[in-house]
Structure 1
Amino acid sequence: MAANPGGGSTEADGGPVRHIPVLLSEVVEALEPRSGKVILDGTFGAGGYTSAILGAGAEVIALDRDPTAIAAGQALVDASGGRLKLHHTQFSHLADFAPEGGLDGVVLDIGVSSMQIDEADRGFSFQRNGPLDMRMSASGVSAADVVNRAKVGDLIRIFGFLGEEKQAGRIARAIEKQRAKEPFRTTRDLAGLIEVVTPRKAKDKIHPATRVFQALRIFVNDELGELAQALFAAERALKPGGRLVVVTFHSLEDRIVKKFFSERSGKASGSRHLPMAVTRPATFEPIGKGMVAASEAEAEVNPRARSAKLRAGLRTDAPAEKADMSIFDLPDLASLEKIGV
């Protein structure tokens, strides 16, 4: 869920922007990597964070669900002198790769990368015509499957919640009518319909298809669920004194991270209607003064940084709590498995 969910901001100045790690110095400062430490980079991507962590002397366990990123990262593995291990998997499984003594740090850069957007055949951007795909892992249910098979009510909820699209109902009903004639196959098929249904007004800064494409990408890759599970996994995998650093690009993601750290802070919780609130030992303590945003200078150089937010926590010695998804209050959306049938 990056700053360019439909592919707009990377091309705003007339051409694609190469992937630049966002808030790199702030991430390294929060992680405190050095010789003898083991840091897990759950979103390897182009290896920006991993390279900086290796440069500070630490060992890195890196994960990525994108097979293209894994293939491209082999050169860095070969050059690391055995200090980098790279695995093809989702970051929600990060606890499975932690050493017996636990991790010293976990970093997560949430969302789609500019490299993925720039590849037309991945189907993330409507600015380059390609198959309506959007799968980070290159497997499973695609965006075309969702658009062509999901019920109208499910599409409305997906577009409305994950994309915060005010015209979700109008767009979903237009999709239903069009797919009865011919299925959607390409990014331009969908973007073209949305342009007709909700024409771009002169004052609008973003393309009318941006929010729908964002919603589909988040849904197809279960990005919010993956993030929530990764936070629980990091809580289990970090040793006391370990550091969890998360960079988000969208309010939905940031809300999940903020809620997680608040729930794990040890502060009293419970309903205001109950006489007694429950206190629990903190599993994380805040690092720094709270949320960190990119500077104006960084945002000017790297458009992807404009909406970036960093939050970090220090793992205490309290036992990990139950992985309770209900704390995030996520909506009940359609099942990917049922849509793929």
Structure 2
Amino acid sequence: MQPMRRITFISFLITVSLYSWGQEKRYKFLETRPINEKFIVDYSDRLSIKIFGIVKTNQIAHVNHETDKKLEYRPNESLNIGLGIGYKWFGLDAAFNFGGVNNDDDKFGKTKRFDFRPSIYTRKFAMDINIQKYKGYYLYNPEDYISGFNASGSYPIRSDIKTYRYGASLLYVLNHAKFSYRAAFIYNERQVKSAGSFLVGPYFSYFRMDADSTLIIPEAESEFDLSQDFRGSEYIRYGLAGGYGYNLVLGHRVFVSLSLVLGLGPEIKKTPAINGFLSDTESKFTGRLATRIAIGYNAPKFFFGMSAAGVYAGERDETEDFLERGVSHAKFFVGKRFNPPKLFLPKRGK
């Protein structure tokens, strides 16, 4: 079995296992009750269907530690259109790339990607899994280094750059009786009164970048340390994160949701032997920032809105250039709730 297929299969088994696990009453932490009905309306017994568009990105940057100048690379970002369904705490989104929508390969190059980011939101927990493999990037800010660069033409393309990201995070919602993450991102609940909650939980991530040559282009060689080459370097980080989320409700149906979560823990960097330097392993404590924002309209039968989320890493180094990494996505959607067909989606017995 191919490595990526194996990872996908394992993730699928984890998702199915958690779903089956949640059906048994003795696992109370997966239950949707209790909630404070003055703050949250529960629609988990209804079937929600939505149409959405999503743009995902996966950026890297070589950063000069003295001047903060950077060479930023991004994949060719494409708009995917998809369909999502939700029932109980379970949600599934499937998005597809339509050729007629994304036809700018001549300008930004072609990106091959495997991007699997399932999320599981229960009453008390928010779990995110991240599995990505990207090949093909372009230089996002060539005008900073290439004199006379014309943005209407082709950008410098690096079809040889490959990145690998694997990670997972788990957040416990302390005030889960009044604050609903699911109201803002899964839409099987509705926040009817403003509330917030502290969030805390662990995280883990792995990152690696490969390329045929350095990220430093010839026009920028005077601006960066040529001895810093991040090809083949691996970054393993884990730690504990904490933050706060708040749902602001206007008129019981319009809402704005924002959460900021800061993480702190060790990062292990493994550098291969390259450019005459020996392989090396170093570790240090680094930070991690995860953000979520959502704006929308949430009524009993109809909902629409937009949301965005991002995770940013790459701790600033005061002594040498460093590699900045980030992953984010933006989504807009419109959906409707229905009474579930009893034949296929019977209500769970009490």
Query: Which TM-score band applies after superposition, normalised by the shorter structure?
Result: under 0.3
- TM-score, reference length from structure 1: 0.24
**Structure with the bigger percentage of strand:** 2
Higher helix residue share: 1
TM-score, normalised via structure 2 length: 0.24
Q: Could you say which structure has the larger radius of gyration?
A: 2
Q: Which structure has the higher relative contact order (CA within 8 Å, separation 6+)?
A: 1
